[in-house]
Amino acid sequence: MKYLITGGAGFIGSNFIHYLVEHHPDAEIVNLDKLTYAGNLENLKAYEGDLRYTFIKGDIAEPKVVNEAMNGADVVVNFAAESHVDRSIHEPAAFVRTNVLGTQVLLDAALRHKVKRYHHVSTDEVYGSIALNSDEKWTEQSPYNPRSPYSASKAASDHLVRAYFHTYSLSATITNCANNIGPYMYPEKLFPLAITNLLEGKKIPVYGQGQHVREWLYVEDHCSAIDLILQKGKPGETYFVSPDNEPVSNLEVIKKILKLMNLPEDRIEFVADRPGHDEKYALDNNKIKRELDWKPKYSLDETVRLTVEWYKNNQEWWKKIKDSQEYKNYYQKQYDVLK
Ligand code: NAD
Ligand code: DAU
């Protein structure tokens, strides 16, 4: 089986490539990635010289390179995206280009190359925001209501995927997933930012009062769900992927990190809130469990512990990023104004 993985040098994409190699050793893998600030070939060093793996540097919004990369592919899994909400508030244009136009270019190529399956990796954020005092959980039938430039661009891409299924009978599936954490996550998002700041002796910048609520999934569980959908999922269907534990506030998970690292709560620094900050995300994961017999392997405590351990044990990986001028510029732009 030949897989085209787009965005395979990023956080979830590189974890998925590791997952494929481990669970399908005969898989042939092509990784098409633009190597934006978030793409990192160090995540895939293990496959340098491995004949089963090919890396192509390129943009999913460029038809020529996409067509070359897709040649002979049986399956396409699209992870390539601009993925950070805060950056989408500063610079929405890149999100529209990659997440919307890039998806459309991939879909056109998938039709032309008659791929057996196109899988689109999306997010719970397209459904909007649940009130903090509500126990509601979204289902695959919930209406779309994106509220950030990031989630709006992801919503548009989901609609395009469904349009290509209905109009051109493209064999496509979609997953909308909760917040992932684990190895190789760029240290701009809450978990890696918090852990690495603590390891550097700094504080954790917490937006508002840390009251916002999320679900945290260990990235390997996301990978197992996508792999299962590629094998057993029904074309045209959307599947939610989320952990079994209840959603938790940012403050609660940050306290778990501090406890694991034996650090006091005065390492929390409350800063100004994110504009339009979604209060809560919560997914009902019954469909994928019922129809495909998927279940997450990791509890919340294991997920947090494994993530803390990875950043403790891989300081060279994240220090190189944090020492880069790109990262320093971003940190200054995002955080210096919030204090
Ligand atoms: P990431 O930012 O870590 O990685 C994105 C990758 O895409 C990078 O390697 C980057 O170089 C590449 N890329 C960006 N623009 C590109 C382009 N135009 N052409 C080719 N490659 C390009 O993102 P992630 O956290 O791994 O997210 C992967 C996917 O999963 C995204 O679609 C995201 O919306 C979705 N998702 C993420 C989470 C999460 O918690 N991180 C949760 C649910 C869904
Ligand atoms: O829900 C899935 C989404 O999860 C993915 O689609 C996105 O790609 C991914 O970035 C993530 O989005 P969030 O906005 O939920 O993740 P982030 O890590 O940026 O923030 C998590 C929560 O922590 C959110 O409520 C904002 C808050 N936060 C974040 C940062 C970076 C802080 O309080 N301080 C921070 O410095």
Summarize pLDDT for 129-152 with one digit per residue, the tens: 999 999 999 999 999 999 999 999
* Domain 2-181+216-241 indexed as CATH 3.40.50.150: no
Which run of H or E residues covers position 225? Answer: helix 219-232
Residue 269 clears pLDDT 90, i.e. is over it? yes
Mean pLDDT of 169-180: 98
Q: Which ligand is nearest to the CA of 125?
A: 2
Given the CA of residue 194, which atom of ligand 2 is nearest to it? 36
Average pLDDT taken over every residue of the chain:
98
Catalytic residue flag (residue 150): yes
Given the CA of residue 278, which atom of ligand 2 is nearest to it? 25
Q: Could you tell me how many helices (H) and strands (E) the chain has, helices first?
A: 13, 13
The one catalytic residue among 33, 59, 82, 125: 125
R_g of the chain, CA atoms, integer Å: 19
Q: What is the pLDDT of residue 337?
A: 76
Residue 339 clears pLDDT 90, i.e. is over it? no
Q: What is the pLDDT of residue 216?
A: 98
CA pair distance 314, 195, nearest whole angstrom: 12
Catalytic residue flag (residue 124): yes
Which residue's CA is the nearest one to ligand 2's atom 6? 123
End-to-end CA distance of the chain: 51
Helix or strand or coil: residue 203?
Answer: coil
What's the gap in Å between 303 CA and the centre of ligand 2?
Answer: 16
Residue 86 clears pLDDT 80, i.e. is over it? yes
Q: Which ligand is nearest to the CA of 204?
A: 2
Instruction: Tell me the whole-structure pTM to 2 decimals.
Output: 0.98
What's the gap in Å between 253 CA and the centre of ligand 2?
Answer: 12
What's the gap in Å between 170 CA and the centre of ligand 1?
Answer: 23
- Domain residue ranges of the chain, discontinuous segments joined by +: 2-181+216-241
What's the gap in Å between 191 CA and the centre of ligand 2?
Answer: 8
